[in-house]
Structure formats: structure tokens, C-alpha cells
Chain A
């Protein structure tokens, strides 16, 4: 019987109680001792197991340069699960997972270690029925990617036996410009087929981001006004209140635009601006996202429609903090941007003339990510101007984090005898209206990798297209002037406010 013909009689599309459980499989994490792995990946694996979404026999293999035995590794996972998992710790779930944990000590150029990895994989296939299905999670700096994938290829780990799969999972940064992104893709694709490479953008795993599509395409009341006839402009913000912390080595020379705009903000913009996909599958989604990314027009005059800045020292939330140039490990002459704002336009029938303002920064007022669609004013008001003096523009705000949900802002009459109209906000809090147990982004994304569902992962072409948008801006910044300054704890530099003021608009205070 061929693999695809077989149908499990216990599964039925009408049976919606049965969760999407991943098929037999294992996960190999490179760089398992890193922060991401301890704080996000391992707890997510446990939470998935706790929710009964991992297959029996699921195996977790760690690879790192430590002299550990399997038990030591299990202990490390145990501690990180205890500390960071979302769901309560249950001994029986832990038992189920712990049986399938293996640790392979070694360097990435150590052939013995990779031979050991191969043996471990074969042993697990035989003992725990993982059926040759493995995802390799490269939680390592990109400079190690070539080495790791080459080693996987050399030791036959990247070749899936008949009827099984081998997938690679990679994290940002996907290069630092178009050329390096292409090189990186070439290296990974030489070993793994493009549809077996999963690029993690954890924002896309968030419930509200997926809800953008539900909001737009499952409802009738938003789509008719979701265009240039009604929308004035769109603001997409990702603000962090922290500085660069201990990431000086990584951050300096990269900057906010490469770190955030290239991936997260352009993805959010694509989801906000794209046309309706033919179906909710990876192929149709990527097609629509690409279409809109290709229609993005760069500002004619980068000096007038982009701003970059660095945080200066100041007070952030009641704490005295250092400026970027004073941070440890940063060159005092550094021109790296910790704040970036750009104005983009989308050249298509739906959006012509509607600016999309994207901004991101560190050490801003508070940590928040949101998409604000700001509507035009009513073309005519029967009320006199004093009545509507305090009325702003209507807006739909999709709050991505921290407090996931949606806000609608509209005008309402102030109770009383006079006709006075003012803005009110109506809040839909995701955490309140549904599920406190709303899963972490990484849970969703790891499960999707194991299920082979690529809906929420950016494709190669999208990554390259995003660099095409960003590269000219970075080039302009490299050759012209230097970053502006903004006080820590504020909402960015004056130059950014002026940029919007020139268009007769202003930034929302998120």
C-alpha cells in the first residue's frame, strides 16, 4: 500500500474534537543551550506534549558543545520547563517526553558528533517509531548555517528515507541584505528542498496576527472599506522598552530596520494590505503576500520619508538608562539605528495614494506592537464645527502584543443636552473573549513544522522581496548623514514627528 493512499479510519473531518496531533516525528535542536531554546523552544515542546498534541514516541535531540549525558540534558530541559512553560507541570507528561530525550555533545565540524547524531536518529526510529521524520531546528547564529547543513548532508541526515520527511527550521536574521540573503538561501536549499525549509517569524504565530485574516476575509463589514476610498493611512508600530542589553555584538551594524522592519513589519504590512487569497493554504497565501510586497514602492526621496535614530540617555519608566553609544561594547562612533521609521506606498488599485508608516525602536515609551488602520474623515458633517471639534479620525487598531486584541475608535455623542461628539474606544480583548490558554507563538509554529503546514512561515521569495524594499533605504543611510537622537522612554525623535507632519498627519500614541 502506498503511503498516500492509506487513510486512518479513526480520523474523520467531522470529528473536530480530535486535535491536530503531529505524526510520528522527532525534533533536533542545534544550539540547545542558547537562550531561545531554554526560554521558548523547550517549554513550547513540553506545552505541546501537555496538550496531547505530540505523537507517542516523540523524541527531542539536543546538540551542543557541552560534556553532557542524556540525563544532564533532561535535567536542563526539566529546569527550563519548570521555569518557563505555560501549562502546569505534570509528572506523567514529563515521563512521556523524558524517555525520548537524547544529547549529542560536539562541535559543528566534528564528524564523530554527527555520526553519533545519525546513530541516535536511527536508534530512535527503531525504538520509538519516529519513522524517519525529523525537523532540524538551527537555533545558532547564521554564520554556522553553512557548516551545519553541510554536515547534515554529509552524514545523510538531510536525505529523507522513502515516505518520510526531513525539515530545516531557521530563525532570523535571514541575511543582512539581498545578496547575503540569496547566499544563505542557496546554502540551505542546496541541502533541503525549498518547501522543507521553515523560516520562523514568531509574530506570525500570534493569534491576533492570524486573526487579521479572519477579521478581513471572514467578515463582511470591514473589507468594503479596506481601501483607498476610505482609508487615510496605516501605521504599523513595534516598540520595545528595553535597550540592546547584552546583544551588542549582534545588534551593532545591524540596526532596527534590518532587525525588525525587514521581517516582522513587512510581514504585518503584507497581511494588512494583501488581496483575498484563493484558499487558506501556504501556496495561495504566499502568492498574495508576494503580490503586495512587489507592489511596494519606495520613497522617491529617502531623506524626506525615512528617519533613523539612536536612543540617548534618559529616564525609561522610572529608571535611569544609558544611551546607545554609552552601552557596553558599542563603538561610540556607531551609526547603527535603534529607531527606524519609513513611509511606503503600495502601487495597486486598492492602495494607491495611501501611505503605510512603519516604525520600530528600542527604549521607547512601552512595549507594544500594533497595526492601526486610520480612516478618512466623513466627507460631510451635518453637525456644526464646535460639535465635532474633539472628533478624531475613525480607526481600527489590531493590537498584536502585549494585550492581544482589537480596538475600534469612533465618534459618539457625549451624554447631555448639547450635541457634542467625541472619540470613544471600543475594546475587544482577545485574552478576555477567548482562551486564557491561548497558545504561545512557538507552540503553534513548532506544531506546524511537524505537521508540514507552511501557512505561517515566510518563503524565500518573500524574504528576498523584503530586502529589495529595505536595501535602498539602508544604502541611503550609509551614505547620507547620521542618525538622529531621541530620549530614552520617549516615542521617538522629533524628525519622525516632522516626517508625518509634512503629510498633515501625526503618529498615534500606542
Chain B
């Protein structure tokens, strides 16, 4: 069911949530976390849809924070909080509250969100677009155990990564990193089979792809080699090559979901490497809520000489 509240407060929204639950006959719910989505009206639909799909795996209370800007200067003076409470089948397997903030209250969204968090349950904040410069210091980000940004959804991804690296705090994570899991998993599996030392590495991708950048930094940090970056026409990452004494380990994904894996001395075989939907990415993100140390390693590209070499021109 759906309850609309105009010019309201957090405590009225809490009442509406209880009322909504009673009405659908399930006064107790087994939700495991609170998800805060901070977005604008334009991106709200897609991100809420993805979060609702992910909520089938991780039932959650979803709070959607939308800051509205009024057109006229007079309207900008006033403060207003409008809310839309969705419970039951309209909200995936949890509850969704849309919070529309007008005027100055938009700067104090945390005061609205804090009373609506589930007791004790972990909090996740996701900025589908336009993440703050320093997520952990952001008033909303500071409430969360996990802060999800997306370096894909910005004008200059590499600059965004640089900013993320400077402001990194445990609990930060980025969907550009999440997108890499199948690649990283296959590369690790390929190396399990090759069982040999790596002497060189290269990542081929479209220009300015943040995932490719993170992948190169991760490979550099883990393998202790200089990672060459090659720009191709894309889409996204097209190939990864690892040099060994006996030849090259190579995963090619020229287009579509089908990739080929070649190992030295073995014929090529096909691999499924699909580009996953946002809902799947969010579901993966929510599986673990502790600090992602490997993301930090990849972000900083900590080990031996990868930092300089990853820049391509």
C-alpha cells in the first residue's frame, strides 16, 4: 500500500510505516538493513527499481532522499518535507520511503533519515550519481557502515577515482569495483590453472574506464609487475593479458557476454562474462558489509611502481 504525506516530519512517517505494516497484516518484518539512496528526481526511478530487486536477496527498508530545488526564489525560502511510504508488494520485500526535501531541510537530510533508520541494523548509503567529495565525512555518509559510489556516473571517472583514493575510509566502495568481480574471479581461476609466475600484465579497455583502471591497479599491486594500459574501442574492458615464462594467459571479450580464455599450451575455451545489471551489483555489495580492504588496495594501487605506469596517453 501507499501513503502520501505532505509537509510532514520523521515521526509522522514512522507512524505511517507502522500503520502500513498493520494494514498488510505483517506487523513484524525480517528486514536486515537500511538502504539510503541519495539521488535526484531524474535517477530515482532506476535506482529504486534496482534496490527493490536487490531487496529480494537482502530485505531492507529503503529511504530515498531526493533534494528538490524550487524554481522561484520565494519558494526557495520555505522548508518542506514530503514523503511517500510504500509497504508490501509495491516495495519489493521491504518498505520504501521517498523523502522529497525542499529548501533548507535539504542541507539537513540526516535529521530526517536518522529517526527512520531500523534499530541496530546496518545502514548502507548509495549515491547512484553525484557522490560527495568525501563520502565518509558527508552527514548522510557518516551514518552508514557502507558507502557506495559509482565512478561510472560522473563526468571525469579518473578524477573521481583520485578523489576516492584521497578520501578513502573503511566502508567505502564503488560499483566500478563491483563490476570487476567476474573478471577478477576468472583471472584468479586462470592463474590457478597456469600455476606460474607472472612477468608482465596488460589491461585493454575503452578510454577512461574506471573499472579497467582499478583492475590494472589491483593486478599491479598483487602481481608486483608494471601493468600496461591499452586503449581500444571498447565496450568497457576488452582484454586482459598476463605474461608468463611459457607464454600468455589471456582473456578476450571483444563484445557481448562471451569471452575466450587462452592459457599457454592449451587451446582457447569460452567463458561467460556478462555485464551485470545494477540490481545484481547492489545485491553483491550488500552481501558483505565490512570494510573492503582489497578495494582500498586497488584504489591506492599500493605496491611497486604501478601508479606511474597505469596512466596511458
Which residues of chain A have a CB within 8 Å of any CB of chain B?
Answer: 1, 3, 6, 8-12, 14-19, 21, 23-24, 49-50, 52, 55-57, 90, 92-93, 95-96, 99-100, 126-129, 131, 426-429, 432-437
Query: How far does the alpha carbon of A95 sit from the alpha carbon of B256 in the complex, in Å?
Result: 13
Please indicate the chain B residues that have their CB under 8 angstroms from the CB of A96 in the complex: 258, 269-272
B182 near A52 with CB under 8 A, answer: yes
**Which of these binds chain A: B71-79, B97-105, B259-267?**
B259-267
Q: Can you name 16 A-B pairs with beta carbons within 8 Å?
A: A6-B195, A8-B191, A8-B195, A9-B198, A14-B294, A16-B292, A23-B189, A24-B192, A49-B272, A52-B185, A57-B193, A90-B257, A96-B258, A433-B59, A434-B32, A436-B57
Please indicate the chain B residues that have their CB under 8 angstroms from the CB of A429 in the complex: 30
State which of A3, A10, A50 has its C-beta within 8 Å of the C-beta of B184.
Answer: A10
Kindly provide the distance from the CB of A97 to the nearest chain B CB, expressed in whole angstroms.
Answer: 9
In chain B, what residue has the closest Cβ to A57? B269
Please indicate the chain B residues that have their CB under 8 angstroms from the CB of A18 in the complex: 181, 184-185, 188
Which residues of chain B have a CB within 8 Å of any CB of chain A?
Answer: 28, 30-32, 56-59, 93, 178, 181-182, 184-193, 195, 198, 219, 222-224, 256-258, 261, 263, 266-267, 269-274, 284, 288, 292-294
State which of A3, A10, A129, A433 has its C-beta within 8 Å of the C-beta of B30.
Answer: A433
A17 near B181 with CB under 8 A, answer: yes
A128 near B274 with CB under 8 A, answer: no
A90 near B30 with CB under 8 A, answer: no
A21 near B189 with CB under 8 A, answer: yes
Instruction: Please judge, given known A-B contacts A18-B181, A56-B261, A433-B59, whether A128 and B188 are in contact too, CB under 8 Å.
Output: no
The 5 tightest CB contacts between A and B, nearest first, are A433-B30, A92-B272, A10-B188, A92-B257, A93-B272
B186 near A434 with CB under 8 A, answer: no
Query: How far does the alpha carbon of A437 sit from the alpha carbon of B224 in the complex, in Å?
Result: 37
- Tally the A-B contacts, defined by beta carbons under 8 Å: 125
Query: How far does the alpha carbon of A426 sit from the alpha carbon of B27 in the complex, in Å?
Result: 11
Please indicate the chain A residues that have their CB under 8 angstroms from the CB of B263 in the complex: 129
A10 near B57 with CB under 8 A, answer: no
Kindly provide the distance from the CB of A207 to the nearest chain B CB, expressed in whole angstroms.
Answer: 13
Query: How far does the alpha carbon of A131 sit from the alpha carbon of B193 in the complex, in Å?
Result: 8
B188 near A8 with CB under 8 A, answer: yes
B266 near A129 with CB under 8 A, answer: yes
Instruction: Please judge, given known A-B contacts A14-B293, A17-B184, A23-B192, whether A92 and B57 are in contact too, CB under 8 Å.
Output: no
A17 near B294 with CB under 8 A, answer: yes
Please indicate the chain A residues that have their CB under 8 angstroms from the CB of B274 in the complex: 90, 92
Please indicate the chain B residues that have their CB under 8 angstroms from the CB of A92 in the complex: 256-258, 270, 272-274
Please indicate the chain A residues that have their CB under 8 angstroms from the CB of B270 in the complex: 92, 95-96, 99
B269 near A56 with CB under 8 A, answer: yes
Kindly provide the distance from the CB of B216 to the nearest chain A CB, expressed in whole angstroms.
Answer: 13
In chain B, what residue has the closest Cβ to A437? B57
Kindly provide the distance from the CB of B238 to the nearest chain A CB, expressed in whole angstroms.
Answer: 16
Please indicate the chain A residues that have their CB under 8 angstroms from the CB of B187 in the complex: 10
A21 near B294 with CB under 8 A, answer: no
Kindly provide the distance from the CB of B40 to the nearest chain A CB, expressed in whole angstroms.
Answer: 29
Please indicate the chain B residues that have their CB under 8 angstroms from the CB of A24 in the complex: 192-193
Instruction: Please judge, given known A-B contacts A12-B294, A436-B56, whether A55 and B271 are in contact too, CB under 8 Å.
Output: no
B59 near A432 with CB under 8 A, answer: yes
In chain B, what residue has the closest Cβ to A3? B195
Kindly provide the distance from the CB of B218 to the nearest chain A CB, expressed in whole angstroms.
Answer: 8
**4 further A-B pairs in the complex, CB-CB below 8 A; given A128-B267, A129-B269:** A10-B222, A21-B185, A21-B188, A128-B266
A95 near B272 with CB under 8 A, answer: yes
Name the residue in B31, B181, B187, B270 with the highest tally of chain A Cβ atoms < 10 Å from its Cβ.
B270
Kindly provide the distance from the CB of A498 to the nearest chain B CB, expressed in whole angstroms.
Answer: 38
Query: How far does the alpha carbon of A56 sit from the alpha carbon of B193 in the complex, in Å?
Result: 9
Query: How far does the alpha carbon of A11 sit from the alpha carbon of B266 in the complex, in Å?
Result: 23
Query: How far does the alpha carbon of A129 sit from the alpha carbon of B190 in the complex, in Å?
Result: 10
Please indicate the chain A residues that have their CB under 8 angstroms from the CB of B191 in the complex: 8-10
Instruction: Please judge, given known A-B contacts A15-B294, A128-B269, A129-B263, whether A434 and B193 are in contact too, CB under 8 Å.
Output: no
Kindly provide the distance from the CB of A180 to the nearest chain B CB, expressed in whole angstroms.
Answer: 40
Kindly provide the distance from the CB of B136 to the nearest chain A CB, expressed in whole angstroms.
Answer: 20
Query: How far does the alpha carbon of A155 sit from the alpha carbon of B235 in the complex, in Å?
Result: 49
Kindly provide the distance from the CB of B89 to the nearest chain A CB, expressed in whole angstroms.
Answer: 14
Kindly provide the distance from the CB of A129 to the nearest chain B CB, expressed in whole angstroms.
Answer: 5
Query: How far does the alpha carbon of A127 sit from the alpha carbon of B263 in the complex, in Å?
Result: 11
Please indicate the chain B residues that have their CB under 8 angstroms from the CB of A435 in the complex: 57-58
Query: How far does the alpha carbon of A166 sit from the alpha carbon of B31 in the complex, in Å?
Result: 44
Please indicate the chain A residues that have their CB under 8 angstroms from the CB of B193 in the complex: 23-24, 55-57, 129, 131
Kindly provide the distance from the CB of A434 to the nearest chain B CB, expressed in whole angstroms.
Answer: 7
Please indicate the chain A residues that have their CB under 8 angstroms from the CB of B258 in the complex: 92, 95-96
Please indicate the chain B residues that have their CB under 8 angstroms from the CB of A95 in the complex: 258, 270, 272
Name the residue in A8, A18, A90, A93 with the highest tally of chain B Cβ atoms < 10 Å from its Cβ.
A8
Please indicate the chain B residues that have their CB under 8 angstroms from the CB of A426 in the complex: 28
Please indicate the chain A residues that have their CB under 8 angstroms from the CB of B178 in the complex: 17
Please indicate the chain A residues that have their CB under 8 angstroms from the CB of B189 in the complex: 21, 23, 55-56
Kindly provide the distance from the CB of B250 to the nearest chain A CB, expressed in whole angstroms.
Answer: 12
Kindly provide the distance from the CB of A223 to the nearest chain B CB, expressed in whole angstroms.
Answer: 22
Query: How far does the alpha carbon of A15 sit from the alpha carbon of B178 in the complex, in Å?
Result: 12
In chain A, what residue has the closest Cβ to B293? A14
Please indicate the chain B residues that have their CB under 8 angstroms from the CB of A23 in the complex: 189, 192-193
Query: How far does the alpha carbon of A171 sit from the alpha carbon of B46 in the complex, in Å?
Result: 47
In chain A, what residue has the closest Cβ to B93? A432
Query: How far does the alpha carbon of A8 sit from the alpha carbon of B197 in the complex, in Å?
Result: 9
Please indicate the chain A residues that have their CB under 8 angstroms from the CB of B192 in the complex: 8, 21, 23-24, 55
Query: How far does the alpha carbon of A6 sit from the alpha carbon of B273 in the complex, in Å?
Result: 27
State which of B223, B284, B294 has its C-beta within 8 Å of the C-beta of A9.
Answer: B223
In chain A, what residue has the closest Cβ to B30? A433
B190 near A56 with CB under 8 A, answer: yes
Query: How far does the alpha carbon of A9 sit from the alpha carbon of B222 in the complex, in Å?
Result: 6
Instruction: Please judge, given known A-B contacts A6-B195, A92-B274, whether A11 and B188 are in contact too, CB under 8 Å.
Output: yes
Please indicate the chain B residues that have their CB under 8 angstroms from the CB of A57 in the complex: 193, 261, 266, 269
